[in-house]
Structures are given as C-alpha cells and as structure tokens.
Amino acid sequence: MVQHQADEGILGSMEQTLLGGRYQVVRRLGSGGFSRTFLVTDLHLPNHPRCVIKQLKVQDKDTGTLDMARRLFDTEARVLYQLGNHPQIPALMAHFEEDQEFYLAQEYIEGSRLNRQIEEGKPWSETRVVLLLQEVLEILSFVHRQQVIHRDIKPSNLIRRHRDGKLVLIDFGAVKQVTSSPLLDAETGATNITVAIGTHGYMPNEQYAGKPRFSSDVYAVGILGIRALTGLHPQKIEEDPVTSELDWRQYAPMVSSSLVAVLDKMVRYDFRDRYPTAQEALEALQNLPNPLHGLVGTQIYQTWMKGANGRGPTFPDEDSNTAVGPTETSEPTAFADDQDSTSLFPVGLAYGNGNGSAAGTLPLIADAHVPGFRRYPRRQSLVIGGCLGALTIGLVLWRSGLTIAFELNGAGHMIPFQMATVPSLTTDLGRLLPPEEKAAFLTRQGDRLLAKGRYPDALSTYNDAVASQSEYAAAYLGRCKALIALKRPLEAIAACDDALAYSTYYPEAVRSKGNAEEQQGKLLAALTLYEDTNRLMPAMFEAWLDRGRVLQKLGRSAEAIAAIDQAIARNRDSAEAWTVRGEATWSLERYDQAIIALEKALQLNPDYAPAKELRQKARQTLGR
C-alpha cells in the first residue's frame, strides 16, 4: 500500500512535468522493481503522437553507481537503436538523462501479449505451435545477425500487434541490468560491470553460470514451444535425473516425432548439442515433414490477425458463442507487468558471432469452428495440409494459413469432410472470417502479391480488404504502395491520407506519401514527409535513404551525404544507399570517396545499373 501510494504521488507529479522537455505523461502503464513505464504524448511532433517512456529506477545514486547506470543505459539504447530497424522490434525514439534519472522513449505498440494466449492447462495444436515458433525465430534470426543475444525470450515479451497481426519482440534488458544485482561486489569491492537478465524456466544452465550464447535464446524459444504444446509452465516440468534433459514428452504424447526431435535439440542441457543460432533452428522447423504425420484436430484453422478497433478472434475454449470478441487489453502490453518473474545474474555483455537470413513471416493461427463442417472424435481425425503433390487445394489452403480436415471411413481410407463445400479463398472468404479478420487476411495476401510484383492483383486485394473493413489502416497503406508501383501518385496520396486518418501514428504511411509526392516531382513536399518520418521513427532505414536521394536530386549534396550516412548506419548492405553516397560525393568533387562508395555498391550487387553507370563515368573522367 505504501509503495502504491508512493507511485501514485510520483505519477501525479510527473503528469505536471514534461519529461525531456517534450513528453507529456498520459498515464502509468506498469511499475516493477527495476523500472516504471508511462504512456506519453510527444508535444514536439505534429498531432502529438503517443509513445512509451521507460524510466529506470536507480536506488543508489552515488557517483560510481550513476556512472555504471549511465554506461549500461547507453548500451541498451545503442542496441535498441541498432535493432529498431526491424519492423517487429520497437523503434527507439529517444533516450535521455534528467535529474539523475534515465529514460527511454520507444515506439508505442498496441497489442496483446502472448502470455494472455498461452494459458495454463490449455495446450495448443502442433500446427499452431510450429507456426508460432517459426515467426519468433524469424525475428530472432535478425537479432542474432546483429551480434546480439536477447536473453529473455518468454511469452510476455512477445506482443501480437493489433495493427497488422504480427509478433513484436520487446525488452532487451539493459535497463533491468542496472538494478538487477549489486553494482559492487560485497567481498572485493570491485565494480560489477557485467549484468544481464533471464527468467526462471526459460533460462539454460550456461546463462545461470554467466555465459549466455546465441543457443541460450534458442533454448528459450524451445521452452516457449513446449509450454504451448503441454499447457504447462516450464517450472512444472521435471528434468531427467540421469541426463538432466527436460522430461516433457509425457505431457504431449500426440506430438509428431519430427517436431519432438527439433524441440529436444533446441532445449538440450549442453549448449553444444543445440542449434547454434536461431537461423539453424528455423531451418530445421521449415524442413519438418508435412502435418499429415501428426494428429492435430478436426477443426479448420484460420489465419489469426488483430483487426481494426482492437477486436480479435475468440478461442474455442473461451466462454463465447461469437466468432469475434474484445481483445484482452488495449494497452501497449509490451510494457505491462507479467506473471513470469525476471531474475538477474552477473554475466558478460551478450555479443557474439552469428549469421543467417530471415525468411517470410508466417501467421499465427487459431482454432475456429466453420459452418458446414461436422465435428468428429479426435482419435478418428487427421488434419493435412502443405505440399501434398497433386492435391492443389491442399497446398493453397496450407500456404494461406488453413488446413483441410479429413476422417477415416469404414474401410480405413482417408476422405475429406464434405470436401466439395470448402469455399474459395478469393470468392467466399467472408464465410470463414468476420470482417476485421478478413481485412487483415486480405491485406497480408495483398502484401505477398505486392512483393511478387503483381501490382494490379495486389491493388484489387487491398480494395477487397477496405470493402470488408473500411477503417483498417494497413489496407489503405497497401493500396497506397500498390498505386505508387502502378505510377498513379495522386490516388496513392489519397490512400495514404486514409491510412493516416485511421492510425495517427503511422510512419510507414507518412513515408509512402512522400514516395508518391516524389513520383510527381514534388521534391520539397516529399522531403518534408521524409523528415517527418525520420522524427517519428528514427530507426527506419528506408526513410533516411529516401531523404538522401531527394536531397541529392535537389543539389544539396552535403545534406544528402549526412542523410545517407544515417541510412548506411542502419543498413550497410544497401547498394542503392552506397550509390547515392557515391553520386553525392562525386558532386562535391570528393572523387576518392565516390569511387569507394560505388565499388561498395557493386560488391553488394554487381548488376545494380545506377552504380555501374556512375562507376563507368568515373573511370572515363579520372582515367582509372
């Protein structure tokens, strides 16, 4: 009670103060032993967009402790800045120190934490778990490529974002590092400068011992999968007394042997026996046999997406007869408290070597009853999907996040449940999905078509999404991008304006509107929008590249170089960014720098025509 009253008093005083001279506190989101989090509005930006401030609680404010806190706080800020370029990791907006307190301003994530969906005593199906693990490992593969170990993968650190249904990985832990354990060794008086975090049940033995590795994260993801499959918290699963391996399979006897093998390797006691990085674990999951080999259930699965207005699907075991129910919370639950206790241990800063590439994101799926399909005893049912050769409809449904239900007839042969009544995904999707989910599903379909260069088909699909849910901002953004690809900038601007009307904080839409203005030749208008995007989401590489490109078109080469350097700091593997830098340095007669930039571009992409043309021009001019 005393602590609660103290927190309320602090909140009341903070509401009267602008944090960092620009952030107005709206309300407190959470308070724990290590930090407090607040929902704030940024008064320095148009429309006062929301973001989240995390305040570090430093109890001991002597000079040595504050210096250590400052160093570790800066470390987390650098890591977040580095990782925030990924669309499924919150972007760092700012970090600052004020009155010997430390603050992080991060992107506002509105969504539902995974620990509200992985419930005790309610096991998930095998198919659903595989898709979840793949989506988590795709994000984690990016993290590992940046030479960072997360160290605290658990359900409450994964958010299903309402806006587009994608998972977001949060909490990279340096703030908790500062206050997690004594900064001075009680016996030697030496400064403890290496601290890190972890959660009981998700943390392998080498992390307890202070030597986390990339495979420590792999272990935590494996535990996440086992928790979903068994419906048991990992602390309730015993170890084999001889091998020290987790004895979890007795709680999920129907899981296929192929998935068991992958999960067992992910959670080996000895880190040397695990997949070394998330990428290797992801590849193992992607190479699993098709789901025909496992009993998954008799219900059709549908793509699970958060729709507009904070509504999402109801799960089969929930007390509801409706297909759609209110989401668990409308708070940015990335920053709320959770039942998983985080423990902290002295360890080294978690950096190492790792390689790999992220694959396309697969959707999380949720069970849903479908009209026209009969329910059968689980022991007589199989769900099949994936690559089934000539069974084209099976492939189409599996690739779309759906599977087909089958049963055994009297002769022991598999026959489909009313196969002829399976609706067309393109013509009768409304039979399966309520409007909000249908809009999200169609938007994801449009995104895939757009990525394949099928712009008219993508535009048509986005239009269908808008027709299904007129307030779904992501569909308008997709429409904007498709119209830009089709060279229809005026219509694209209108679509981006619609996206911004339904989502006030939407940096991607601001940037795309800039692309449309640039396509019309309105370079100054485009530049303003790119600058706005840089302020809204500093970690977005593409907006810095856009800004540098337009500045160069305007003949402002020195400014272009500054912007491009910001882009390259976020993504060194862009041939276009290096080419623009080469062009800008050439304009300023910095010929050696131009040659270096163009050669770097051609190393990344030997066939990139703009770089080849500029490099040839340089050779002819300089004779080398």
604: domain CATH number is 1.25.40.10
* CATH number for position 50: 1.10.510.10
Task: For residue 392, tell me if it sits in a domain.
Answer: yes
- The count of structural domains within the chain is 3
Torsions phi, psi for 137 (to 5 deg)? -70, -30
Mean pLDDT, the chain, rounded, equals 74
Q: How far apart are alpha carbons 517 and 98 in whole angstroms?
A: 39
* Coil, strand or helix at 101: strand
Task: For residue 451, tell me if it sits in a domain.
Answer: no
Average pLDDT of the segment spanning 443-451: 90
Listed ranges 67-81, 404-418, 508-522; the one with the highest mean pLDDT = 508-522
84, exposed or middle or buried, with CB in 10 Å at 0-12, 13-18, 19+?
A: buried
In this structure, the answer to whether residues 285 and 403 fall within a common structural domain is: no
3-state secondary structure 225-285: HHHHHHCCCHHHCCECCCCCCECCHHHCCCCCHHHHHHHHHHCCCCHHHCCCCHHHHHHHH
In this structure, the answer to whether residues 316 and 398 fall within a common structural domain is: no
C-beta atoms surrounding 340 within 10 Å: 18
The closest alpha carbon to 95, from 37, 44, 36, 20, belongs to 20
Task: For residue 439, tell me if it sits in a domain.
Answer: no
In this structure, the answer to whether residues 298 and 416 fall within a common structural domain is: no
Task: For residue 225, tell me if it sits in a domain.
Answer: yes
DSSP class of 443: H
**CA dihedral of residues 58, 59, 63, 67 (deg, nearest 10):** -20
In this structure, the answer to whether residues 196 and 273 fall within a common structural domain is: yes
What pLDDT score does 20 carry? 85
531, exposed or middle or buried, with CB in 10 Å at 0-12, 13-18, 19+?
A: middle
Listed ranges 37-51, 338-352, 553-567; the one with the highest mean pLDDT = 553-567
In this structure, the answer to whether residues 6 and 114 fall within a common structural domain is: yes
Q: Provide the terminal-to-terminal Cα distance of the chain, rounded to the nearest Å.
A: 76
Distances (CA, A) of 418 to 371, 404, 415: 11, 10, 9
Task: For residue 216, tell me if it sits in a domain.
Answer: yes
What pLDDT score does 497 carry? 95
Confidence band for 208, pLDDT divided at 50, 70 and 90:
confident
375: tokens are 């329910």
For 379-393, how does the pLDDT look when each residue is reduced to its tens digit (9 = 90+)? Answer: 333 333 333 333 333
* Domain endpoint, select from 398, 430, 462: 430
288: tokens are 């699993």
C-beta atoms surrounding 348 within 10 Å: 13
C-beta atoms surrounding 320 within 10 Å: 12
Task: For residue 527, tell me if it sits in a domain.
Answer: no
In this structure, the answer to whether residues 388 and 253 fall within a common structural domain is: no
Enclosing domain of residue 223? 2-346
Task: For residue 489, tell me if it sits in a domain.
Answer: no
Torsions phi, psi for 520 (to 5 deg)? -85, -5
Distances (CA, A) of 102 to 49, 57, 73, 99, 177: 21, 8, 7, 8, 13
Task: For residue 460, tell me if it sits in a domain.
Answer: no
Q: Is 497 a catalytic residue?
A: no
In this structure, the answer to whether residues 261 and 403 fall within a common structural domain is: no
In this structure, the answer to whether residues 338 and 220 fall within a common structural domain is: yes
* Domain endpoint, select from 430, 458, 476: 430
In this structure, the answer to whether residues 50 and 84 fall within a common structural domain is: yes
> Residues 152, 340, 498, 546: which is the catalytic one?
152
- 8 Å CB contact between 55 and 101: yes
How would you classify residue 4: left for phi > 0, otherwise alpha for psi between -120 and 50, otherwise beta? alpha
| CA angle, residues 539, 544, 545, in degrees to nearest 5 | 130
Provide the whole-model pTM.
Answer: 0.56
The answer to whether residue 587 scores a pLDDT higher than 60 is: yes
In this structure, the answer to whether residues 17 and 163 fall within a common structural domain is: yes
- 8 Å CB contact between 294 and 259: yes
In this structure, the answer to whether residues 316 and 386 fall within a common structural domain is: no
For 9-46, how does the pLDDT look when each residue is reduced to its tens digit (9 = 90+)? Answer: 555 555 567 888 899 999 888 766 567 888 999 888 87
What pLDDT score does 162 carry? 78
50-56/101-107 β-pairing: antiparallel
For 459-508, how does the pLDDT look when each residue is reduced to its tens digit (9 = 90+)? Answer: 999 999 999 888 888 899 999 999 999 999 999 999 999 999 988 778 89
In this structure, the answer to whether residues 272 and 143 fall within a common structural domain is: yes
More confident residue, 184 or 460: 460
